[in-house]
Structure 1
């Protein structure tokens, strides 16, 4: 049976925006009172927590300056992941808090859309295994210094030989045990979240909550839009990061904005989506989406209520995926095509090559090509599988 996401489903958010975006199942374990109570009372899960606590205490005694020693204590081992999978499967029933979790949250959220053909019990297990793997991945990259998928822009900020860094890591490990009411996964999750913070890598939370800030004017406009008046739901502008530290908006970004403004003024779509995070060069302070929005408003006189910022994408693959997510989450018509507007080389890259790269990197096709409209414009249709969390891209999951 195909279980489809629901557009009106409100995500359960946490104060730390990075958390629910990366680990949605674990966030629900934490935030849903009936479920939290059930997990806290389970003796097998409690014993998994005790064993983790013992490993962390052991590491604080013995690891000294050995960073990977702390990481190993906090990460989930293959055996631990399997034990918890088996335990969740054993206590799962369609009518208890875990069954309700799958029906009322995991399926409608779309956050685990790639497992939508699984039975409800298996979907739960796969979601748990994904979140555990995501925590391990984050600790691997941002504590141990493993290579991320894109080392040039996403690497760790510290040297593993740095004595001070070893001290910070030890303190961070110690902090994971301070909460006396931890659930079995919370020490590991906190260790990962603190690692993002120490590395100044909370990129996934940039400009959040967007609906209360940068996208408020456009979101209010969406509710009043008569979609029948427009051939397209939106015009997507993929970012082009500058390579120099002091440049806020690249020449490529400006030209793309001008191309999009032209289509907007022709009445092709009621909204322009500017997409791109803080990507190039390494740890830049400039956000592509924010700078493009500024340029559209100040230089090209486009009203703020017509501009939607998507400030998280780090690659062309996620420009389209994240745009599909915003269309879905903001209540835009998902059967209406969008238009991608960019320079000729990137436009043809998106229609001719990018889909296979998406399949390879994300595991699915986030969009479907429509017609080519010109050298610089093409149509696309969103795929709701785009709501799937990407476990090995923690800066834009």
Structure 2
């Protein structure tokens, strides 16, 4: 009898063109967060055609798939995000986005194609697996706005799950390599909104007004200058303003300005210290300028903290696929956000980075209008998801009383 690893790998290799075509189909027909209805239907149809049970989320966006475990048994889940970004696709490829202003610039089309392939491989090779391997594929909407994981959890996606794994494509990692990190992998994120209410007037007579644009510029400068010097330099903190909105004409001092930004830290405690410092800056500028400054903090995604035991199983799975020498440790956490953290409140898990940078040419960064991947990575990622699922299922069985 063939080894289950050989059977899974052979099935995935034999369907490499189909996996690539799924990714290209999704890339050409992207749907942004909260609009993933057709993507969900497409995936449900493919899974049901193969005989895999499917449950679509109550919103009609997102689904779970996989066999039901026996009573009292747990299962291993793997997750893919399915939403796209509101970015213009600037590539000139046959599969470039057909929807103006929307594209898969973060690799979610690849994540989805790999999870679909892993699902089909586990199903088709079920007779060769080491016993009954209960598994669940979670195809999640709205990752880019930090809401999808919580939606899927509320829909029951994590019921009876003992471990959860995922991949994220990484254009800084070479094709044929995977990268891992035990412990903190991504940042704790908050959104920041600041409304500066001044008093409008004529641009030629600023003394008759309270200029919110001047206050806004001072506020941003103060945050950038003083927040980093208010926290331990060994504790990474990033505060970035990405939106400034105010005014309609060059000769009018506006009534108000709205600032929007993000705070990234590696712990909730650090986020609290940063928020307090920002409030102090707002109070000081209110006293100095006469403007009214309202600061609002909105909780985003928690940090992804990879579980040591699950991570070791994923490292082993990755080593089986690409060789142990091609599995590299990530030295430092990322200040990016990932709502995979929403699943980790319910089960231990691990998020790996999959190399998608092809040889001999630079690879565009995530969220770039030129973003693309070396599609040979798709079969690598599908194998790693499937191997990880079996290894973790086997480990969970061996620990049952």
> Same fold judged by TM-score > 0.5?
no
Which has the larger strand fraction?
A: 2
Q: Higher RCO, 1 or 2 (CA under 8 Å, sep at least 6)?
A: 2
TM-score by length of 1: 0.29
Structure 1 or 2, whichever has the larger Rg, is 2
